[in-house]
Amino acid sequence: MNKQVIVGLCNPKSPANVGAVMRAAGCYDVQAVRYTGERFARAAKYQTDTKNQRSQIPLTAVEDITGDLPAGFSRVCVEFAEGATPLPEFKHPANALYIFGPEDGSIAQSIVDKADAVVYVPTLGCMNLAATVNVLLYDRLAKASLAITHNTPADHNAWVRKSRDVNNRLVVR
């Protein structure tokens, strides 16, 4: 099985954050995003997925954030919690469901109690949901043995041209 990532959002309230999570999912090769609760569904009409990732990555409402998880997936809660592992010290599992709490609350204790790991991003104060997802997914990529690497400046430039926004033509001279 290839390395796979699912992002789980516990009762998100902000369509802007969910849209930004979808954009991050596209940037970091996430296979699916799932969410619980009613708040996002009510706010979903305010579409903020600026890269239209929903057409490529499933965004699914679920009753149980950890339910129907494929075999071989680890449950990783990302939350400021006493006893959690700081993200710089965390070794990411090959296949993971990363679970994030709501913008105005925490992941339920019952979910944390069943987690394979609980990690936190060591910041001064808490980041918003989308920022936390981006940092976690970048950390996973940066630590991966198959991280984006290039041997020559031409390789780097090709990657930049492929990944940047269509309006960006910036060149360092």
CB half-sphere exposure, 143, CA atoms < 13 A:
14
122-149 pLDDT, tens digit each:
999 889 999 999 999 999 999 986 555 6
To the nearest 10°, report the CA torsion of 37, 94, 24, 41: -10
Tell me if residue 119 falls in helix, strand or coil. strand
Position 166 scores a pLDDT of 75
Q: What's the pTM?
A: 0.84
Tell me the pLDDT band of 112, cut-offs 50, 70 and 90: very high
Question: Residue 1: is its pLDDT beyond 50?
Answer: no
Residue 97 in contact with residue 136, Cβ under 8 Å?
no
Going by DSSP bridges, is the β-strand pair 96-100/59-61 parallel, antiparallel, or unpaired? Answer: unpaired
73-87 pLDDT, tens digit each:
999 999 999 999 999
Tokens of 80: 């400021």
Residue keyed to tokens 């499933």: 58
